[in-house]
Structure 1
Amino acid sequence: MSSASKDALPLRHPVRVETITLRPMTFEIAAAQPDFAAIARHIGVASLESLKASYSLSRNGDRVKLEGKITAALHQTCVVTLEAFPVALKVPVKLDFVPEAELATLAAGDTGEGEIDIEVLLNEEDPPEPIVDGVIDLGAITLEFLALALDPYPRKPGVSFDETAPEAAPESPFAALARLKGSE
C-alpha cells in the first residue's frame, strides 16, 4: 500500500513500535462523528453510526502481538429490497507483527534460485503482518477487519429472494411430433 493511499484512510491511529512495552498496553480508538461518512464510503456501507476498537499490544524484541475487539453500528443496503437496514458487529482481532525485513526473509524461504516457495497449510495460524517504517496503524487495522466482517450480500432480516416461477416452457418439437404421430 503506497503512502499516498495510506494518507487517504479516513481513520488513522499510528503507534510507534518502540513505544510498545513487554507488558500489554491498551489502546482505545473511537471514530469521530465527522468521519462517519468517509468511513462508510471507504468500507462500502450506507451509513456508520458508531465505531470503536479496543486493542492490547505487547512487544517481545522486534515482534508485536495484538489482540482486541472492534464494535460497530452501521447500515448496509439489502441486496433484495435495496433498503438500508441496521447491522451491529463485534469483530475479534488477533495479529502478530514482525519487521518488514524479517517477513521478507521468512517469505523467501531461500530456495537458492531466488524463487519464492509458498506452501499453504490448512488450520495453521496466519503469517505475521509487516511492521512498516517502525509503525503499526491501528486505524488501518480497524478499517480492514471491519470491512472483512461485513456480509458481502446483506439481506434485511426477514427478506428472502423468491425467484418468480418461470412461465410455462414452450412445448418441445419432439413432444409436438409425438402428439401428431399418435393422432394418425
Structure 2
Amino acid sequence: MSEGQAPDAPVFALVVSRLPQDGLRIRFEADEAQRRAIAARFGILGVERFEAELLARRWQDDGVAVDGTLFAATLQPDVVTLDPVRQDIEEEVTLFFVPEHSRLARPAVAEDDAIDLDPGDEAIETFRGDRIDLGEPLVQLLGVALDPYPRGEDVSFEAVREGEREPSPFAVLARLREPKKD
C-alpha cells in the first residue's frame, strides 16, 4: 500500500517510466473484494461494477495526464422506503499527476493560510517515485458521483400539510407497499 493510500481503495498502479510516448490504453476492473471494500467505505449496499477505460500519456515534461471513463453500478438504500436502488454511473475522468518536486506541484500551505482555488481548474496531484496509484482517485470520483438522496422511480415523499395530523411512520410505509392502482 502506498503512502496516503486509503486501506479500502483498490491499488491500481501505473509505472511512469514505462509509459510510451504515444500513451498507454488501460482497462481496470475491480474484483469482488475491492467492490465490497468500496461499498463499505461509502456505507452503501453494494458496488456491482467498478471499471475504468483510460488513456495515460506524458504531460508537461515529467507529468502524466489520464483521461477516460469510469463505469460503476451501485446499490444504495432508497431514502424513503430503504429498498435497494441501483445507480448506473458513467463519469468522465481527467486527472493530472506530477512528481512531488515538480514546479507544477501545489505549493505547501500552512494550516492557517488560505489558498484560492478555481473550481474549474483541474487539480494536479503529486506522486513519489515511479508509480502512480490510480485506485484512490477513481474511488473518490465514484464518491462524488453517488446520488446523495437515491429514490426508486415511483417513490415520492409527501410532507404533512399544515393543520393535518402527521401519520405514523408505519402507516406511511404500509401505503408505500400497497400495489399501485392504474
TM-score, normalized by length of structure 2? 0.76
> Which runs of no fewer than 5 residues in structure 1 stay unpaired?
110-114, 170-184
In structure 2, the gaps of 5 or more residues are 166-182
| Residues 168 and 154 of structure 1: CA distance in aligned 2, closer, same or farther (over 3 Å) | closer
2:32 maps to what in 1? Answer: 33
Runs of 4+ in 1 over 4 A off after TM superposition: 2-5, 103-106
**Distance change >3 Å, CA 9–CA 164, structure 1 → 2:** same
**2:17 paired residue number:** 18
In 1, distance between residues paired with 2:151 and 2:86? Answer: 11
CA change 1:98–1:34 in 2 (3 A) is: closer
Identity of aligned residues (%): 27
Report Cα offsets for 1:39-92 as digits up to 9, x if no partner: 211233211212111110011421111101111112111111111111111011
Q: Distance in 2 between matches of 1:31 and 1:105?
A: 29
User: What is the SS of the residue equivalent to 1:6?
Assistant: coil
Compute the displacement of 1:4 (Å): 6.7
Shift of 1:103: 5.9
More helix by share: 1
Q: TM-score, normalised by structure 1?
A: 0.75
Counterpart check, 1:118 vs 2:115: yes
Alpha-carbon distance in structure 2 between the residues aligned to 1:103 and 1:151: 37
1:162 aligns with 2:161: no
Secondary structure at the aligned position of 2:143 is classed as helix
1:81-92 equivalent positions in 2, closer than 5 A: 81-92=81-92
On the 8 A contact 1:65/1:95 being kept in 2, the answer is yes
* Number of matched pairs: 162
| Paired amino acid for 1:17 | V
Distance 1:133 1:7, change over 3 A: farther
The offset of 1:10, in angstroms, is 4.1
Kept after mapping to 2: 8 A contact 1:43/1:143: no
Alignment match, 1:127: 123
The residue aligned with 2:52 is 53
- CA distance 1:127–1:152, shift in 2 (3 Å): same
